[in-house]
């Protein structure tokens, strides 16, 4: 009981911290009578200079880009963007912050903005785009979007993610599939196994592997990676509608539902398959374990596919890729997007040029090949993709009915709620004695709390088109 109260207090504090910055900026925006709407909020609290005073004679062509692409393959993909930008006369000034799923980058970004040191370009994804847009600090990319017909070429779900109050607030780069199962073909062949298509088969395969001394699943106890497994299990057991009920609408009834109980039980079973105590390892270390053949399977986003290539593994020869057990029909997505801080508009030309470049068919194809995801454009050619990407693209193209927004990757809900859910799932995962029913109660309590405090949270609304 004491822990539960402490937990709730902690949630409040976290929530308070997150909303303080937003409230500060919103209040400032309302109070500000400056002509540039986008510029106004930051200006009012002194984090950007007044338009008139700062308007420079020349446009700057160097852009600082804050992002969390720091693994070998992610670096290559970012370097490609830097090279393409360079040929357009724009210098990419790198501000990479390590930490899978942008855990570190999100914190650094907040700190930098409050300190008046916002980068010109930043990786902000999912509901966070609307959260930042609401503060009035982001550059509207409407002119580029209209000129290049983004509405005509983008998937509807992607359009939703980059829009805030009908303005385009981010340039989308690629779509990742978070429900990806990787399996080691040699190990599967040696032990006469087929890739599992549902929970029962998954469990049976794990038992067979354990019996012959093979670690079934490469995994980590890092909170976001544990929650990745959990969201996969929820989607597999409940389908996209139930998934949204739990993570987007955050319905307390869904938290008490038998499908949530089952997903928690399955999460505990998966933990039990691990032959050594699970360490908090980065996703790249997990990928290395899988690449060395020290585990037969891995479930994570398709960014790991790009990393496996660099580790000497070839898709369809050394390893297979399919939808995670029970979710092959669905697409658990994370869409990468870059937003621009308006600042004093000195970088506007370069920022718009960059946005245009990111959406070009050539950059979309090249970037996603290196990154492991698929283009955000509906006119991309699936015939030019590898088997894993093609399956992802074809599934995503089926529309909102099969899509589920990744909680972990900020696609389903605001940052504070996401952090609290991840912490709760992680807590359950670490404590083998924690009853499933208690975890459900705690999730339901969180939902009630956040559903009261997040009335009006930008971007967290549920739409018919995917979120």
Stretch that binds ligand BGC, among 95-103, 269-277, 313-321, 443-451 (CB under 6 A): 95-103
Stretch that binds ligand BGC, among 94-102, 145-153, 234-242, 457-465 (CB under 6 A): 94-102
Element (H, E) at 403: strand 403-405
Nearer to ligand BGC, 126 or 323 (CB): 126
Site for ligand BGC in 267-326 (CB under 6 A): 301, 303
Stretch that binds ligand BGC, among 2-10, 36-44, 96-104, 443-451 (CB under 6 A): 96-104
Site for ligand BGC in 105-124 (CB under 6 A): none
Nearer to ligand BGC, 43 or 413 (CB): 413
**Taking CB under 6 A as the rule, does residue 405 contact ligand BGC?**
no
Nearer to ligand BGC, 356 or 418 (CB): 418
Beta strands 171-177 and 331-340: pairing type?
antiparallel
Residues 6+ away with beta carbon under 8 Å from 182: 290, 297, 298, 299, 300, 304, 305, 308, 319, 320, 321
Residues 382 and 386: their CA atoms lie apart, in Å, by 8
Q: Is 256 helix (H, G, I), strand (E, B) or coil?
A: helix
C-alpha angle with apex 419: 415 to 424, nearest 5 degrees? 150
- Stretch 68-87: interaction string toward ligand BGC, x if CB under 6 A: x-----x-------------
Residues 106 and 126: their CA atoms lie apart, in Å, by 12
Element (H, E) at 199: helix 199-211
**Taking CB under 6 A as the rule, does residue 339 contact ligand BGC?**
no
Nearer to ligand BGC, 182 or 303 (CB): 303
**Taking CB under 6 A as the rule, does residue 334 contact ligand BGC?**
yes
Please report how close the Cβ of residue 105 comes to ligand BGC at its closest, in angstroms.
9
**Taking CB under 6 A as the rule, does residue 172 contact ligand BGC?**
no
- Count interface residues toward ligand BGC (CB under 6 A): 12
Nearer to ligand BGC, 100 or 239 (CB): 100
Nearer to ligand BGC, 72 or 394 (CB): 72
Residues 6+ away with beta carbon under 8 Å from 314: none
Selected from 44, 92, 102, 368, the binder of ligand BGC by CB under 6 A is 102
Selected from 120, 134, 336, 424, the binder of ligand BGC by CB under 6 A is 336
Least Cα distance to 368 among 160, 127, 69 occurs for 69
Tokens 């500000």: give the residue: 32
DSSP 334: E
Helices (H), 217-332: 223-247, 252-256, 258-272, 283-291, 303-310
Return the residue nearest ligand BGC (CB atom). 303
Please report how close the Cβ of residue 336 comes to ligand BGC at its closest, in angstroms.
5
**Taking CB under 6 A as the rule, does residue 409 contact ligand BGC?**
yes
Q: Is 341 helix (H, G, I), strand (E, B) or coil?
A: strand
Residues 391 and 385: their CA atoms lie apart, in Å, by 9
Stretch that binds ligand BGC, among 97-105, 254-262, 324-332, 459-467 (CB under 6 A): 97-105
Q: Which two tokens stand for residue 217?
A: 């699943």
Contact set with ligand BGC (CB under 6 A): 68, 74, 100-102, 125, 176, 301, 303, 334, 336, 409
């Amino acid at each position: 009981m004491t822990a539960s109260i402490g937990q709730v207090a902690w949630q409040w504090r976290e929530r308070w911290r997150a909303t303080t910055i937003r409230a500060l900026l919103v209040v400032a925006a309302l109070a500000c009578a400056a002509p540039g709407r986008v510029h106004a909020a930051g200006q009012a609290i002194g984090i950007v200079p007044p338009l008139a005073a700062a308007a420079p004679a020349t446009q700057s062509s160097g852009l600082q880009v804050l992002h969390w692409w720091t693994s070998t393959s992610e670096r290559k993909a970012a370097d490609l963007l830097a090279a393409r930008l360079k040929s357009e006369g724009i210098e990419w000034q790198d501000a990479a912050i390590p930490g899978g799923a942008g855990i570190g980058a999100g914190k650094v970004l907040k700190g930098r903005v409050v300190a008046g040191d916002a980068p010109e370009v930043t990786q902000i994804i999912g509901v966070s785009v609307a959260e930042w847009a609401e503060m009035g600090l982001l550059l509207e990319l409407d002119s580029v979007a209209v000129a290049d017909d983004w509405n005509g070429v983008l998937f509807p779900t992607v359009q939703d993610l980059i829009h805030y109050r009908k303005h385009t607030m981010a340039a989308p780069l690629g779509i990742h599939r978070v429900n990806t199962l990787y399996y080691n073909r040699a190990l599967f062949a040696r032990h006469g196994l087929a890739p599992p298509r549902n929970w029962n088969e998954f469990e049976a395969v794990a038992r067979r592997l354990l019996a012959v001394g093979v670690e079934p699943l490469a995994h980590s106890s890092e909170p976001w990676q544990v929650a990745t497994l959990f969201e996969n299990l929820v989607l597999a057991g409940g389908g996209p509608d139930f998934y949204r009920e739990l993570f987007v609408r955050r319905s307390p009834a869904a938290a008490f539902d038998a499908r949530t109980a089952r997903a928690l039980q399955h999460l505990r079973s998966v933990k039990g398959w691990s032959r050594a105590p699970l360490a908090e390892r980065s996703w790249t270390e997990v990928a290395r374990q899988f690449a060395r053949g020290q585990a037969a399977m891995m479930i994570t986003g398709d960014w790991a596919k790009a990393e496996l290539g660099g580790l000497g593994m070839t898709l369809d020869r050394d390893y297979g890729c399919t939808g995670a057990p029970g979710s092959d029909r669905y697409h658990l997505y994370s869409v990468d997007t870059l937003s621009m801080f308006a600042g004093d508009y000195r970088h506007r030309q370069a920022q718009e040029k960059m946005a245009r470049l990111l959406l070009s068919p050539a950059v979309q194809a090249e970037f996603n090949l290196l990154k492991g995801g698929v283009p955000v454009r509906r006119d991309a050619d699936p015939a030019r993709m590898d088997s894993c990407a093609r399956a992802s693209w074809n599934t995503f193209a089926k529309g909102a009915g099969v899509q589920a927004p990744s909680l972990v990757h900020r696609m389903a809900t605001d940052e504070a709620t996401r952090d609290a859910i991840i912490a709760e799932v992680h807590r359950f995962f670490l404590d083998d004695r924690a009853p499933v029913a208690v975890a459900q109660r705690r999730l339901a309590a969180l939902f009630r709390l956040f559903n009261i405090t997040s009335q009006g949270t930008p971007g967290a609304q549920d739409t018919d088109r995917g979120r």
